[in-house]
Amino acid sequence: MQTDMKRTDRVILAIDLKSFYASVECLGRDMDPFTTPLVVADEDRGDGTIVLAASPFIKKEYGVKSRCRLYEVPKNIKGLIIAKPHMKRYLEVSADINSIYLDFVAEQDLFVYSIDESFLDVSEYLEIHHDTPISYAKKIIETIKSKTGLTVTCGIGKNMFMAKAAMDIEAKHKTDFLASWDYSDIPLHLWPISPLSKMWGIGQRLEKRLNDLGFYTVGDIAVSDPNYLKEKLGVIGEEIYYHSLGYDDALLQDTYVSNNHSLSVGQVLLRDYCYSEIPVVIRDMSIELSDRLFTCKSLANNFILYVGYKDHTGYGKKVSFFTPTDSAENIGKRLVEAFLSDPDTKNLYRQISIVALDIVPNDNYQGSLFEDYEGEKRIRTLEQTLVSIREKFGTVKALPCSALTLSSTFITRANQIGGHHA
């Protein structure tokens, strides 16, 4: 990994929309997110549904965390509001925020990391506007506040990693939600961090591997040997070593292309499903995944089916195709067969996910001598027609017959965004 100072010494802002979904819901009710006990969750899905967001007030006063289960939220909180998610509204507000960013930086200097988090490279704008990094960041923060009412958290650093770390580790805990770091701040603020999964780029599995090697704080990594880390962990070991020193040679303007190509669909079922109902849901979701593959002009060789029980345990099944496919009929048939191969009629089910792995462009497709060519051609022509109808007129205009059964979630999900109400 290079540590070319010409690349690392930029002025990067990492900006996070604080408690985004919850804040949007509060402001839509003319309420202050910092004084309102509100969580965003779909009560119709039962007490086991996930809390997508919690207001800053309910987090601070009652310790409620985003991503907890609804049953974990104390029901005796005075004035508690359980707001149903409105994904379309969140996407609209996120687009408005991105438009504000583009008033301060050119498009190539903005990297939208997620619906509520972005990176801005402001290196070339400070001298023009006679600003410091902090004063320019404050202008952006104040504009967002005045135009949308939203509060943001902002980290400033010499590179993307440093800006993100400044935001996560310090800014989120300050009253003005703003922190600026340079290399001299790394030993003071970053090195004491433990557990290691609090550092951007280290998940719980990597944290365990590092713990097994004797690393418990970021400072432990910083004083280690990068060659040893690379030997034990591969390239990621060398990367986290340089991150522990505050270095990151990634340019915001660089286009990132993942080597791990996958697509997935998943849902938490709104009630307990018995064994005999699951095949209907699998076929529904196979159509949804097939549509996404078709839209992306992609095919996949391998598919993972995950089914989760009511008690939050579950298991996965993998199916592979001799040649890559995007056929809803073929995907659904094989996944249902995989599910039925392990009869488990006693348990109740609450979660289904399907992941397409090893995705390739559909122009890479080559037929196999073992295929029923004419049969496959008929299926593909029919499915392409159905996809075109759904794209042009809406998903519910080309329904499978199973969509009319009590077990199907096809129509419900057709009216959602990201698995939630629009």
Residues recognised as catalytic? 117
Q: 61-77 burial, b for 16+ CB within 10 Å, e for fewer?
A: ebebebeeebeebeeeb
Kindly write down the DSSP assignment for every residue of 165-226, as one continuous string: HIIIIIGGGSTT-EEE--GGGIIIIITT--SGGGSTT--HHHHHHHHHTT--SHHHHHTS-H
Task: For the beta carbon of residue 222, count every other beta carbon within 10 angstroms.
Answer: 19
Would you give the distance in Å from CA 168 to the centre of its chain? 17
Q: Is 32 helix (H, G, I), strand (E, B) or coil?
A: coil
Q: Which of left, alpha, beta for 172 (phi over 0: left; psi -120 to 50: alpha)?
A: alpha
Q: Which of 17, 147, 30 is nearest to 91 (CA)?
A: 17
Whether residue 357 contacts residue 305, with contact meaning beta carbons closer than 8 Å, is answered with no
Cα–Cα dist 6/158, whole Å = 10
Q: Which of left, alpha, beta for 113 (phi over 0: left; psi -120 to 50: alpha)?
A: alpha
- First and final CA of the chain: distance in angstroms? 43
Q: 27 to each of 31, 202, 213, 291, how far by Cα in Å?
A: 5, 34, 47, 35
Quote the Cα angle for 291-288-50, to 5°. 140
Burial of 258 (0-12, 13-18, 19+ CB in 10 A): exposed
Question: Residue 5 is which amino acid?
Answer: M
Q: Is 46 helix (H, G, I), strand (E, B) or coil?
A: coil
